[in-house]
Homo-oligomer: A and B are copies of this chain.
């Protein structure tokens, strides 16, 4: 098994109402069954109109939007708010983002990123007659470790967490816990070819294990319910 990962170039500036799957299909018409397409949250939010007006002269405007998008403040230090969003993600500033958007606007997380991924998957099937996995990715920080990494906030056509519990290890012993969050690892891998400042909003991963394809959902599989979480 080997993976090949490349950026999808040539997607134009995305605007509200745009057919994102159609733009991806036009830019990358040679997708094949089993490819995984990783799409960054920013263009998904733009296409879906998940944006909020923000007064650039009001420093508190950003904070108000962050609080509106949050159901629980987990930590606060200075201007940084770590909160649980209404979607269940715990991240900085509720995922509200001012970079790469028009002046006077902030990008919010999509209402339901798994649904967003399903729509893109359906659109790619309709446009290109292919069965692909789709991941919507965003850039999150994490406790204890510096630097950001991309994670999956939605997926379709690919399992989010692959449970290897009970598989024998190489010595014939049963592994104890090996539930691997493959959609986060795929999102991270895709980020490496996209870069932050180049305007590339999607990537293809070719070569994933066919056993990983199928029904999957970030919300149901990855988001950890508060009662099983030790850190909020």
Contact = CB atoms under 8 A, between A and B. Distances in A.
Interface in A1-57: 1-7
A189 B148 contact: no
Contacts of A186: 192
Interface of A: 1-7, 75, 77, 82, 89-90, 98-102, 139, 142-151, 160-161, 164, 167-171, 173, 175-182, 184-186, 188-189, 191-193, 195-199, 208, 221-224, 229-232
Contacts of A224: 143-146
Nearest to A82: B230
B3 A176 contact: no
B144 A232 contact: yes
Given A144-B224, A197-B167, A231 B75 contact: yes
Nearest to A101: B171
A197 B222 contact: no
A199 B171 CA distance: 9
A184 B179 contact: no
Contacts of A101: 171
Given A143-B143, A148-B181, A179-B148, A2 B193 contact: yes
Interface centre among A3, A77, A192, A230 (most CB of B within 10 A): A192
Contacts of A89: 144
**Which of A98, A148, A160, A175 has most chain B Cβ within 10 Å?**
A148
Given A146-B223, A147-B180, 18 more contacts: A1-B193, A2-B6, A3-B193, A100-B169, A101-B171, A139-B180, A142-B143, A144-B232, A145-B181, A146-B222, A147-B179, A164-B196, A169-B199, A170-B198, A185-B188, A185-B192, A186-B192, A188-B189
B184 A147 contact: yes
Nearest 5 A/B pairs, CB to CB: A147-B181, A170-B199, A189-B189, A143-B231, A2-B6
Contact of A221 (B100, B147, B167, B168): B147
Nearest to A198: B170
A189 B3 contact: yes
A147 to B, nearest CB: 3
